[in-house]
Amino acid sequence: MQLALICENPERQNELDELAQRWGLSHDENSIFALVLTDTQLELRKLDEAKLGAVFVDLVSGAAAHRRKFGGGRGQAIAKAVGLKKGVMPRVLDGTAGLGRDAFVLASLGCTVQMVERHPVVAALLDDGLARAKQDPEIGGWITERLSLLHASSQDALVKLLEDPDFIAPDVVYLDPMYPHKKKSALVKKEMRVFQTLVGADNDADSLFAPAMALATKRVVVKRPDYAEFLANAKPSTAIETKKNRFDVYVKAAMT
């Protein structure tokens, strides 16, 4: 993938070069997107709309920390959807990891989460945020133990993992593909507009449903905007609703 690659600290130029090679990114000075390595983190910026701000992964402070401390714990809809309850800590495969927000919430509540992300820039941002979080004295221990990232397409990865005799299948496959926004984009948070313009709609999302159902041992959970139809037109066993979203739950076996 091509986008502007910018290093703000000349001493970190080697790191940016390695990063570009690792994620298959090359420099295009005419791109409207820039991946910027600052003194502290990796950021995505939209150069023609600087006011939208930068996108980066922060699992340690800000909104993630606030939600970890005051977000409602196991009472949150996402926790109920994956079947988290006292004594039950599901192993989750998040097949559409994005910026890792949902995976982080689940991991902070005790789940082990294997994240899969196919977009190289999103995967690079997530990997950077994960690496910084692993260094944090407060949360680094459990982040290292519970959260991991695979850069792959879930369409391929879910099938390959199912065929791998050494892979322990997850209790839950969690999916949150991009869905076209019905509401005016001005209402979408600024930095999310940058993210959405880069990634686009996941028009192939329906094809994730069958492999997800094959791989999960207990259930598949699909996050959708409240106005969206079911993934692959498949009617869920139950749905948990929040103000803006719906978690469609496809039960295969009881959580134990």
Ligand X SMILES: C[S@@+](CC[C@H](N)C(=O)[O-])C[C@H]1O[C@@H](n2cnc3c(N)ncnc32)[C@H](O)[C@@H]1O
Where on the chain is the footprint of ligand X (CB under 6 A)? 95-96, 98-102, 116-119, 122, 153-155, 176-178, 199, 202, 208
* Residue stretches of the annotated binding site for S-adenosyl-L-methionine: 101-102, 117-118, 153-154, 176
Cβ at position 203, least distance to ligand X in Å: 9
What type of residue sits at position 168? Answer: I
Locate 93 and state its tokens.
């495969």
| Beta carbon nearer to ligand X, 169 or 192 | 192
Cβ at position 198, least distance to ligand X in Å: 9
Q: Nearest residue to ligand X, using CB?
A: 98
| Beta carbon nearer to ligand X, 13 or 241 | 241
Helix (H, G, I), strand (E, B) or coil at 79: helix
Strand order in the sheet with 172-175: 147-151, 112-117, 91-94, 172-175, 219-225, 245-251, 238-241
* Residue stretches of the annotated binding site: 101-102, 117-118, 153-154, 176
Q: Who contacts 247 (Cβ-Cβ below 8 Å, separation ≥6)?
A: 77, 78, 80, 81, 221, 222, 223, 224, 239, 240, 241
Cβ at position 174, least distance to ligand X in Å: 8
| Beta carbon nearer to ligand X, 98 or 170 | 98
Match 């890792």 to its residue by tokens. Answer: 100
Cβ at position 239, least distance to ligand X in Å: 17
| Beta carbon nearer to ligand X, 34 or 99 | 99
What are the distances in angstroms from CA 154 to CA 26, 49, 90, 125, 217? 24, 31, 19, 18, 17
